Amino acid sequence: MDAREFITIGMSAERTLVVPAERTVGHFVPGMPFVYATPMMILEMEMTSGDAIRAALQPGWVTVGTEVDIRHLAAALVGATVRTTAKVIAVERRVIRFEVEAFEGTRKLGEGRHARGLVNVELFNKRLSK
């Protein structure tokens, strides 16, 4: 399957999250501040990217994260409302590339690039079970 047949540059999505204590550095690492953790911001960026293209995927196909290149620019406290955006910037045969950003209001918390690979679920599961 060739992603260029059904994924187009400019496809986008947005998600909003109110930061819970469970997504802070302090939750994972004792003694650290209770601010939005970088891995949790990246998770939200990955999920937003998936949202941008999910409706265009054929049955039995999904995308999985393959690359992240993210800068975490500012902290957000528990209770902050974080808006994450993802936009398709390039489409290859099996790879979709995104520009991703996270904001608290107008303040940019993070930015970068993310790539997702097109995967047939049945074949993927067969390879994993060997």
* Angstrom distances, CA of residue 50 to CA of 12, 69, 77, 78, 105: 9, 16, 25, 25, 23
The secondary structure of the chain, three-state, reads: CCHHHCCCCCCEEEEEEECCHHHEHHHHCCCCCCEECHHHHHHHHHHHHHHHHHHHCCCCEEEEEEEEEEEECCCCECCCEEEEEEEEEEECCCEEEEEEEEEECCEEEEEEEEEEEEEEHHHHHHHHHC
Confirm whether 46 is a catalytic residue: yes
CATH number of 3-129: 3.10.129.10
- 105 pairs with which residues across the strands? none
Separation between Cα atoms, residue 85 and residue 83, nearest integer Å: 7
Q: Which pLDDT band holds residue 130 (cuts at 50, 70, 90)? A: confident
Chain segment 75-84, per-residue pLDDT in tens: 999 999 999 9
Chain segment 11-69, per-residue pLDDT in tens: 999 999 999 999 999 999 999 999 999 999 999 999 999 999 999 999 999 999 999 99
Q: Please identify which of the residues 63, 72, 85, 114 carries the catalytic annotation.
A: 72
Predicted local distance difference test score (pLDDT) of residue 1? 84
Confirm whether 38 is a catalytic residue: yes
Confirm whether 27 is a catalytic residue: no
- Annotated ligand binding at 83? The verdict is no
Give the number of other Cβ atoms within 10 Å of residue 12's Cβ: 15
Q: Please identify which of the residues 24, 44, 46, 101 carries the catalytic annotation.
A: 46
Average pLDDT of every residue of the chain: 97
Chain segment 31-43, per-residue pLDDT in tens: 999 999 999 999 9
Q: Please identify which of the residues 14, 27, 38, 104 carries the catalytic annotation.
A: 38
- Annotated ligand binding at 65? The verdict is yes
Contact 94, 117 (CB under 8 A): yes
